[in-house]
Structure 1
Amino acid sequence: MKIRKHKEGIETEEATKNAFVMPFISTVLGYDVFNPAEVIPEFTADVGTKRGEKIDYAIVHNGQVQVLVEAKKINDPLRIEHASQLFRYFAVTNARIAVLTNGQVYEFYTDLDAPNRMDAKPFLVLDFADIDDTLLPELAKLTKESFDLDSVISAAGELKYIGQLKRILAAQFKEPEDEWVKFLTSRVYEGAITQRVRDQFGPLVAKAARQFLNEQVNDRLKNALGGPDSYVSVSSGSVVQPEQQEPAQVVGAGPAEEAERVVTTEEELEGYRIVRAIVCAEVPAARIAARDTQTYFGVLLDDNNRKPIARLWFNRSKKYLGVFDENKVETRLPITTVEDIYQHADHLRNTVARYLTTARPQAAAAEPVPPAQAAGAW
């Protein structure tokens, strides 16, 4: 991932904007950062006695400023104190969305609590170090091609509280507080909950939480990468599948032995997540499936072999991205890093768009399909 690879070498706010924020606006949201009709850098709007203050970026859609972006240096934690200019500008522009970011974490704000006044808490928090896939469809609504402000605002209230609840739950699962330990202990222990009992159950609650999360992750990986008959190797962390799309032929090896030769790497999973993020503006992320084989990692629409989106040829010294034309003929494109997949985002989106078009009735198929912008991790 580009952020993980380069963030330690970024030492200034300006470098953060150039390395991470501008590519986010361009690659993920789909706006031309060099076109002032779409993105205005150093946007100025005089606020009361404040003159000449600038906001880092104003994103324009249909001739109106719709999104304000304030950037801070990467590795600096985001605090509401960093958003003072966003608060002031929010009240004097048409923007309904404000974004505070350090290049890795993006906090999205609106005015749910009071009209034309930016909320103190974000309704959506996107962290590229730990992407929540459920947020990608909402992010897609802010892209140039799929901009739908009304839908974003209507969903913001629910997103705001669900996001906060999930973060609280994550914190409790990681390091449970006394009240959380007491609450869960009272459901399984019938005696008085003394301090000694709390001390005893604290590690048990933490251990149970970790095991529960591991089981949930295991189930999701099995469903995404191989179905209910696959399993996760505890020693390697890889997903092993008993049946593969196109297993390599191994002389003298049976099906079980062939399956054991398949090792899904973290790099392949990262490539899969990138492809899914790119095309999720075209289809829901749940429709993007993955199948690993001994020779390549396949990405499919609707888990259908006849609808290949991409193949990741990473099990070799030279990496290749396999893409498909209208006749489903594969072309292998050399790439240096996993992030290079983003250079072929249009091709991947067009591939999915073709499958969607052919699946519609003839009358609907005649309608042009607009290219959608990436709405996920980059």
Structure 2
Amino acid sequence: MDFSSNLKAFTERVLTLKPKLLTEEATKNGLIMPFIQLLGYDVFNPMEVIPEFIADIGTKKGEKVDYAILQENNPIMIIECKHWQENLSVHNSQLHRYFHVTKARFGLLTNGAEYRFYTDLEESNKMDSEPFLVIDFENIKDFEINELKKFQKSNFDIDKIIDSASELKYSSAIKEILEKELNEPSEEFVRFFGKQIYSGKITAKVLEQLTNIVKKATNQSIKEIVNERLHAALKKEEETTIETEEKVEENKVLTTEEEIEGYHIVRSIVRTKIEAERVVFRDTQSYFGILVDDNNRKPICRLHLNGNKKYIGIFDENKKEERIQLNNLDEIYNFSDKLIDTVLRHLN
């Protein structure tokens, strides 16, 4: 399976096993070790993964972080584990202490279901207070899968992850600010719009009115954008479905020798008025169409030859089809004048 499929299977594992994992140790064995393996590391190889990695802090000896992932004998990521019911927000200080005494550039705080990735963007060798990436396997997003791929053993590149971490950190902060402003617009946010749309003095009363307007307008704007994208996505899906159905229909169509013979008769009749290569046939399940320039809006005639009775479909000035029974294909010559008239209408 590819990485995305493996992640999907891991998500199902998280949902299934959580109620059965009663201790932190059970959470490690049931969820966290399989997650490390998912990234391509051998949890049973001490050259790649060391459990109970020593991270002594000053004079305090015997301090250990749950796991360290190694690359060329150096730790590249340390992992602090908690029981799946634990709130991770109250435990990042512990990982913070371990981070600055190791050479690892990444710290991971996890309870098996939620994974918080940290680095030292703000100050070298000092773990940031906020994670640059948070993955909740009960609500994982597509872009998070792509970010997680970078931590795979086969893809691991510190510089690329750091660059990505910087962008993720600030984009997450911006999204958080936007979400807050959209729900409860601040005075500064309202004044930003007010200065551009209101020429008078922005009094307390005006500010109150503008606050309601800004809140409604921004939320309505976002809904419209979402609806437009949904509409575009649905339209694209519909077009794809139609194309697929057309291909399926094409695959079901069987062009017979009799239809090809009828095509050559029609082409021989009209070639006195139009170049032979411009007379094209298009076979469907319902009929065998003969067209000018392979254009459905320029039909010369239709042949219905697959039933018990055979017909030719002749078109009038309004492109209305009249079906006339044929006893044999040679009778197509009886309609030479009408076929030529039809071609001339298309040419004019």
Which interval holds the TM-score relative to the shorter structure?
0.5 to 0.7
Q: CA deviation at 1:75?
A: 5.4
CA-to-aligned-CA distance 1:70-105 (integer Å, 9 cap, x gap): 1334454433x5223322322232211111234444
> In structure 2, what residue type is equivalent to 1:44?
I
2:238 corresponds to which residue? 241
Taking every aligned residue pair, what percent have the same amino acid on both sides? 46
Relative contact order (alpha carbons < 8 A, sep ≥ 6): 1 or 2 greater? 1
TM-score under structure 2 length normalisation? 0.56
Q: CA deviation at 1:67?
A: 0.5
- Tell me whether 1:160 sits opposite 2:138 in the alignment: no
Q: 1:48 to 1:86 in 2, by over 3 A?
A: same
Q: CA deviation at 1:25?
A: 2.2
2:296 corresponds to which residue? none
SS in 2 for 1:157: helix
CA separation in 1, counterparts of 2:166 and 2:49? Answer: 27
2:62 corresponds to which residue? 52
Q: CA deviation at 1:222?
A: 5.2
Q: 1:95 to 1:248 in 2, by over 3 A?
A: same
1:93 corresponds to which residue? 102
Cα RMSD over matched residues?
A: 3.6
Question: What number of residue pairs does the alignment pair up?
Answer: 237
- Tell me whether 1:144 sits opposite 2:168 in the alignment: no
Q: Which runs of 5+ in 2 are unaligned?
A: 1-10, 248-348
Larger Rg: 2
1:68 corresponds to which residue? 78
Q: CA deviation at 1:242?
A: 4.4
Query: Any conservation in 1 of the 2:182–2:219 contact (CA below 8 Å)?
Result: yes
Which of 28, 37, 40 pairs up with 2:50? 40
The correspondence of residues 76-87 of structure 1 with structure 2, limited to 5 A, is 76-79=86-89, 82-87=91-96
- Tell me whether 1:122 sits opposite 2:131 in the alignment: yes
Q: CA deviation at 1:220?
A: 4.4
Q: 1:241 to 1:140 in 2, by over 3 A?
A: same
Query: Any conservation in 2 of the 1:55–1:85 contact (CA below 8 Å)?
Result: no
Q: 1:23 to 1:197 in 2, by over 3 A?
A: farther
Query: Any conservation in 2 of the 1:58–1:68 contact (CA below 8 Å)?
Result: yes
- Tell me whether 1:26 sits opposite 2:23 in the alignment: no
Q: CA deviation at 1:192?
A: 3.6
CA-to-aligned-CA distance 1:315-369 (integer Å, 9 cap, x gap): xxxxxxxxxxxxxxxxxxxxxxxxxxxxxxxxxxxxxxxxxxxxxxxxxxxxxxx
Q: 1:56 to 1:246 in 2, by over 3 A?
A: same
User: Where is the helix percentage greater, Structure 1 or Structure 2?
Assistant: 2
CA separation in 1, counterparts of 2:137 and 2:182? Answer: 21
TM-score under structure 1 length normalisation? 0.52
Query: Any conservation in 1 of the 2:53–2:64 contact (CA below 8 Å)?
Result: yes
